[in-house]
Every structure is written in C-alpha cells, then in structure tokens.
Amino acid sequence: MEMDVVNLVQPLEELMADARLVELCELQRTGDEVLDVISLSENQHSDILAWMLDAKEGHGQGDEILRDLLISASVQASSGYSGLDGRGTTARFFAAWTPSRIRTSSFGAAFTARELGMSASERVDLFVIDAHNKFIMLIENKSGAVHREDQLDLYRDSFNKALASNPRLREYDQIYIALDRKFNGEDSASRPSASSGCILDTTG
C-alpha cells in the first residue's frame, strides 16, 4: 500500500501543474484579461495586481488569482531552465510548496501592500503577506521597463536585513518574484537575479 502511494506522488504533482487543469479552473471565472486590453502605467498596473491578489477584494475570485500565481512560480522553480539556486529562499519555498499543496491550500488570510519602503530609496512594487501560511512574497513588477540585477539584489538584501531585525517575521518564508510582460519563458536563467527569484510572464 505504501509503495502505491509513493508511485502516485509524481503523477499527482504533474496533474496539479497541468495547464489543462488550470484551464478547467478558468471556466469557472467570468470577465476578460483586462490587463491585455487596456494600457496602464507601471504604478497603475501594480495597483491592479495588488487588488487582484487580495482575496478579500471585490473581484469575486477569492484566493484563486494568488493560487494561480504561486502554481506558475512553482512550475517555473522546478523547471530545468529556472536558473534558481536551490539554496535560496525562493527555491526552498517551492520545494516544499508543490502544485498539489498550493492547489489544496487556502490563501484567504493573505493581503497585499503597495510600495512598502525598506529605506528612503528602496520601494518594492508589491508585497503579499500571508500570516496563516507564514510567507512573504516580494513582487517587482515591470510593465514596459527592464529589470536591473543591482536593483533586484538590493531589494533582496535589504529585505533580508529587515526580516532579521524583526523577531515576528523571522519565521516567515521569503519568495522573490519578478513579473515581466515581455518574458518568453525560455531564458529565465539569463535574466537578472534569476538565481534568487522567479521571472514570470504576466501576459498569460
């Protein structure tokens, strides 16, 4: 019996990450991909994303949008072309948070914050904070702009220092995501700071 369970793990993970399952979940939704049909500045784009990722907002999708983002990042993190250093916090998080765990977990306690500053000159576009699942996700959103490695590394290092100085947040896992509307999904290892965070396409 135990052997049968072990043999089911990999097929189950493949099912939970399958794009066709995501498509089936999409059939429950209404509305269009609004970010593809309107032109927004980077700040406006981030404002919309913050609203969408917050399960308590009025979009009617609950935590499903955040769940889809996490599954997409999990698939990217486990792919052969992610470029992630397996010792980093993002890689370690997604090693534990597989697609099946994400698909069957609740993220209703998560909330988003915009432009939180770690110093006067460092303001990350989006934070997703989940006190129930004990993680903080930093999202640097580029809508029509280019990611810079020095900027992403500075944000990561400054946030690590901020967490280390706050005993309430030390136990939280850290995830670093860079959103890029022009990313084609095939060369993430060559992207800035790819070893510490996931680079994701936001057009799909």
CB 156 within 8 A of CB 115: no
pLDDT for res 56: 87
Contacts for 21 with CB less than 8 Å, ≥ 6 apart? 15
pTM: 0.69
Q: Give the model's pLDDT for residue 192.
A: 46
35, 45 Cβ separation under 8 angstroms: yes
Kindly report the average pLDDT of the chain as a whole number: 75
Residue-level pLDDT at 166: 76
pLDDT value of residue 135: 93
Q: Binning pLDDT at 50, 70 and 90, where does residue 203 land?
A: very low
What percentage of the chain's residues is helix, strand, coil (to nearest 5)?
45, 20, 40
Report CA Rg, the chain: 17
**Alpha carbon distances (Å) from 40 to 35, 37, 182:** 8, 10, 15
The answer on pLDDT for 12 being more than 80 is yes
pLDDT band of residue 100 (cuts 50, 70, 90) is very high
CB 71, CB 17: distance < 8 Å: yes
Q: Which helix (H) or strand (E) holds 180?
A: strand 173-180
Instruction: Tell me the range of 25-29, 105-109, 145-149, 159-163 where mean pLDDT is highest.
Output: 105-109
* Count of all residues that appear for the chain in the document: 204
Q: What is the mean pLDDT of residues 154-164?
A: 72
More confident residue, 183 or 74: 74
95 C-beta neighbours (distance < 10 Å), count: 13
Report the pLDDT averaged over residues 63-86: 83
Supply the pLDDT for residue 34.
Answer: 59
pLDDT exceeds cutoff 60 at 190: no
What is the percent of the chain where pLDDT is above 90?
Answer: 17
